[in-house]
Amino acid sequence: MSSVEAKLKEIRVTMAPSPTGLLHVGNARTALFNYLFAKHEGGKLILRIEDTDLERSNPEFEKDILKNFEWLDIKWDEGPYRQSERTAIYAEYLGKLLKENKAYYCFCSEEDLELKRQDQLSRGEAPKYDGKCAKLSKEDVDKLSNEALRNGKNPVIRFRNPSSTRPRTQSNLRIETRLFTQLAFVVSKRKNFPNHL
Ligand SMILES: [Zn+2]
């Protein structure tokens, strides 16, 4: 087995609380399950602090969370990593996703998105992003980026989802890509800052 294969086979699970409040019982439950799973499989438990909400994150809450995990006797093997300290890594991968056309900038304002959402709801449809910015040309993106920069606005970055609607099978994991085509996840709300990573 190559070192890459060995690394892919290694069981690595996280507990990833947000330091925006005291430790929530749901986080403690997930952490306990992941801890037991990691120990059972001879894998590693990684503690990652999800401090992506810069306004609401507070080091006091982080302290409380760590203290409570210790009290619960849940021992992590790596971390704590903080999302806010890993922006250089995310910047690199966001750049790669954009370059490979697997993600795109979305310049829609919150107000526009909310109007479209209300419109879809009023027609009894499940609200979803309409993909407007997925079709922008390179020139449009440059123009809108400059405009956003001038106006102090920050475009979000969305995943460009596979257009295939056929379910794919990869090893024993069945991926229903149709679901993902509906969603166009926002991967980054601030430049270089993760949203769902
Ligand atoms: Zn958009």
The angle subtended at Cα 55 by Cα 54 and Cα 58, nearest 5°, is 75
What's the CA-to-centroid distance between 183 and ligand 1, angstroms? 13
Predicted pLDDT at 175: 43
Q: Are residues 38 and 97 in contact, defined by beta-carbon separation less than 8 angstroms?
A: no
Rounded Cα distance between 9 and 112, Å, is 44
- Give the pLDDT of residue 182: 43
CA 57 to ligand 1 center in whole angstroms: 28
Q: What is the CATH number of domain 3-85?
A: 3.40.50.620
Q: How far is the CA of 54 from the centre of ligand 1 (A)?
A: 24
- CATH fold label, 88-188: Glutamyl-tRNA Synthetase; domain 3 (3.90.800)
Say how many Å lie between the CA of residue 108 and the centre of ligand 1.
Answer: 4
50 phi and psi, to 5 degrees?
Answer: -85, 70
**Does pLDDT of 5 surpass 90?**
no
Q: How far is the CA of 136 from the centre of ligand 1 (A)?
A: 9
| CA 34 to ligand 1 centroid distance, Å | 36
CA of 162 to the centre of ligand 1 (A): 17
Span 33-61, pLDDT tens digits = 999 999 999 999 999 999 988 888 999 99
The per-residue pLDDT for range 75-130, each reduced to its tens digit, is 999 999 998 888 888 888 888 988 999 889 999 988 999 999 999 999 998 888 88
Distance 132 CA to ligand 1 centre (A): 5
Position 71 pLDDT exceeds 80:
yes
Please report which confidence band the pLDDT of residue 161 belongs to, taking 50, 70 and 90 as the band edges: confident
For the chain, what are the domain ranges? Answer: 3-85, 88-188
Maximum Cα–Cα distance across the chain: 56
